[in-house]
Structure formats: C-alpha cells, structure tokens
Chains A and B, each alone.
Chain A
Amino acid sequence: MFEPRRSFTAALVLGLFLSAGASGALAETAQDLYMFHCAQCHGLKGMGDGPNATKEMPVTPRDHTSALEMGKLTDGDIISAITDGGTATSKSSLMPPFGKTLSKQEIVSLKDYLRKLCNCKGR
C-alpha cells in the first residue's frame, strides 16, 4: 500500500523539479511580476499613476485600464514594448526593455494580464 504512494510522490516531486528546471526559474504569477516591475510607473491598478509618474516627467505612463488606448495595440506591440522598451514601438524610452529580465513566457503572461486590465482585445 505504501510503495505505490511513495513512488507516486517521488514521480510528482521529480516532475515538479524537472518542470521548474525547464523554465529556468521558479514561475512568478503575472500579477506578482506586474506589482514588482510595472506598478512603479503604471500604478498598482494599472491606471498609469505609479510613484514615478511625477508631473515633471515628459510623458505619462500608459493607463493599462483604458480599453480605448490599449485597444490600439496588437498583442505583438505589447510584447515588443515589454521586451525591447518603448522605443521599439516608437514610444518613450522611459518604458525600459525587460527582454533580458523576464522570460518570453513571463512577458506573454504579462500581455495577458494587461488584456484583462483593459478588458479589451488587440487591434
């Protein structure tokens, strides 16, 4: 009775270990990534009102809850902007590139998170 359970647990542990190894790092949720990296400019709720969005800045961070603004972007635009920064989509360099910080999978998960925030689809 114990043996099959043990080997099942061992297989489960091994499986978890392998899947963690495959992604190269422990997976973070899109929400945690957003709060950690994006909220400092885009705000905790994504309204473009993070603490770095001071009056003196030449541009205001994108309001991720705006379906009107976010609807103008394709999923590819969002992924490019996160990966290569604002200049990749002819926007401000104040949006930094995260391509060497986040995995492709994490960037796609953030794109999905933004689509939930704006409740909109891409162009």
Chain B
Amino acid sequence: MTSFRRLLSAGLLSAAFLWSLPSHAGVAEGRKAFEANKCSGCHQVEGPAREKTIKDQMAKKGPELWYAGSKFKDGFLAKWLANPQPIRPFAYNSITERNRGDHPKLSQKDSSDVAAYLMGLKSREVKPLGLPAVDNPRGRIIFVKKQSCYGCHSARVRGKMAGGLTGPTFAGASERLNPDWVFAYLKNPKVFKPVKMMPVYAGILKESELKELASYVSSLN
C-alpha cells in the first residue's frame, strides 16, 4: 500500500512537471512572439502605471497589459488573440471613432504562447479573495439604478445589447474578467489606470458594495 502510494505520488509529480513544461516554454516564446508581433507598440507590459495627465493617457494606443494575469480569466486571452472581437465599441481613447475591429489576429501557437506570457504578468494589488462571479441583487441595483454603470458600459439584457458605448462592454465579462481584479480596480483604480474617463467610486460606494458590484459585473454575459 505504501509503495503504491509512493508510486502514485511520483507519478503525480512527474505528471505535474511535464504539464508545467509546455506552459513555461510558452512564456518565453510568448514574450518573443509579443515583440515579434510588435504588440509593445500599443500595449505597456511593465508596471507601474506612469500616466499623470490626460495627455499621457491619450498618448497610449491600447490598454496596458502589465497586470493582464490578474485581470483576465484563464483561457480568455488565448481564445481572443486567435479571434479578436471588439471589447470596446469605440476605438481606444476615442469617443468619435468606432472600433473597427482591426486588432491583429495571431496564429493559434502565438495566441497560446502570448497568452501564457501575459497571464504571468500579475499585480500584487489584486488580492486572491476568491470573489464569486454571480448575479446578486445589490450589485445589480448599483449597476442599473444607484450608479447607472450601464450609461457607459453595455451589457446583454435578455439577449439584447443595451447601454452606453464609451466603456468596455460587459457582454462576455464572465469569460473575460477575474472578479478579484474588478474589485481591486474599483477600490484603487489609480494603481492600474491613474487617468481615466470613468469616475472613481472608491469612497462613494462602500467596500462591501464594491465587492457586490465586482461580483455582478463579472457574472455578465
């Protein structure tokens, strides 16, 4: 029995080792592919955030990715990079130009490598609280009534898209966003994006409300 257990744990260990190999290789290759595809021309991969003024923010060509591993859910980036679909109805930093949906599409291999690389970029500001992604009445009331987040962020309501257009859509948020990151972003947005169009809600909503809102937003499809 003991030797069977040993054999089993040895087997499990080697399985874990073998399983970890390709992902590590993916990280190094992903970093190379990120550079080769010129992704760093638009996306910042080194924190902390440096913007201090509106001009600094407007000079950015795309969303910062230096905390991508804390923000996105596993599996999302690999899928999205291979088949990018607009997340923002308008072009980044624009309220006049529609998102043309022309983000470069990566090969399957580059997509999974770049995703492995980006998912390794984490922010210590995002604590692993394990917030659930669930539709909850208080979060919904904040989103729809109390703060009307839908004024800028669209979502799918009973199968139909509704809401404003200048913020990222929450259609598909349940596959995209880590609720713990949404909460961290709401609680301390300046760490992630010091200058942004969206108002700061920390200090307006209580911490418990920010958690309920983060759970709700992350549950949207």
Contact = CB atoms under 8 A, between A and B. Distances in A.
Interface of A: 25-26, 28, 32-33, 36-37, 39-41, 44, 50-52, 54, 56-57, 85, 92-94, 96-101
Interface residues of B, number: 26
Interface in B52-74: 52-55, 57-58
Contacts, number: 67
Given A52-B151, A93-B146, A100 B202 contact: yes
Nearest to A61: B151
Q: Is the interface of A mostly helix, strand, loop or mixed?
A: loop
Contacts of B145: 93
A86 B114 CA distance: 43
Majority SS at the chain B contact face: loop
B162 to A, nearest CB: 6
Interface of B: 52-55, 57-58, 90, 95-96, 145-148, 151-152, 162, 164-166, 197, 199-204
Given A51-B164, A100-B200, 12 more contacts: A26-B53, A36-B54, A37-B197, A40-B95, A52-B151, A52-B152, A56-B162, A57-B151, A93-B145, A96-B148, A100-B202, A100-B204
